[in-house]
Amino acid sequence: MAEEAYEDARSRLAEYLSRHGLKQTRQREAILDAFLDARGHVTSEDVYERVRQDHPDIGTATVYRTLKLLVDAGLANASTFREGVTVYESDTEHHDHLVCLGCGEIIEFECPSIEARQLEIANEHGYRLTRHRHHLFGYCGKCQRQGLDSR
């Protein structure tokens, strides 16, 4: 990620914290940097493992709370693909997911026809959409070949 993107994220976090009367701390900045470095879909444990390499004094609870703060600030998205496991991603642009129930692989995709049909359905029912999540669960080709889809 370009340094410009890190600075933008730090600035957006500082603005959010200021608006909500929260402190800008060294720990929050370190966690933000570790999260941005991770890229892709990461758990709080993944971020904790990254951040503790340089900051062993930062605990898991601080990482978890800061990730929630990043979601609230619009710097991260949180999704639960597997029971009890929340994954975070820094790509806040809309996309949908294919999730393998065997190996946990996550594939991001965009489909204009699905997006259009969702809007049509919402309009047919008098809804004004503000957001949505679309996760498709199944088994990838590799897991199917290994027979993991017969559970």
C-alpha distances in angstroms, 114 versus 96, 98, 109, 137? 10, 14, 11, 16
pLDDT at 136 over 80: yes
pLDDT at 68: 95
**Residues 76 and 110 placed together within one structural domain of the fold:** no
**Residues 75 and 136 placed together within one structural domain of the fold:** no
Give the mean model confidence (pLDDT) for residues 116-138. 90
The last residue of one of the domains, among 89, 114, 134, is: 89
pLDDT at 1: 58
**Residues 81 and 104 placed together within one structural domain of the fold:** no
**Residues 22 and 62 placed together within one structural domain of the fold:** yes
Within its chain, how far is the Cα of 118 from the centroid? 22
Q: What is the CATH number of the domain that holds 48?
A: 1.10.10.10
Q: What is the CATH number of the domain that holds 100?
A: 3.30.1490.190
The last residue of one of the domains, among 72, 89, 106, is: 89
pLDDT at 38: 87
pTM listed for this prediction: 0.74
Strand partners, 88: 42, 78
Domain around 101: 96-150
Domain total of the chain: 2
pLDDT at 25 over 90: yes
**Residues 119 and 59 placed together within one structural domain of the fold:** no
Model pLDDT for residues 32-85, shown as the tens digit of each residue: 999 999 888 899 999 999 999 999 999 999 999 999 999 999 999 888 877 778
pLDDT band at residue 151 using 50, 70 and 90 as cut-offs? low
pLDDT at 17: 96
**Residues 19 and 63 placed together within one structural domain of the fold:** yes
Tell me the one-letter amino acid at 53.
Q
The last residue of one of the domains, among 41, 69, 89, is: 89
**Residues 62 and 131 placed together within one structural domain of the fold:** no
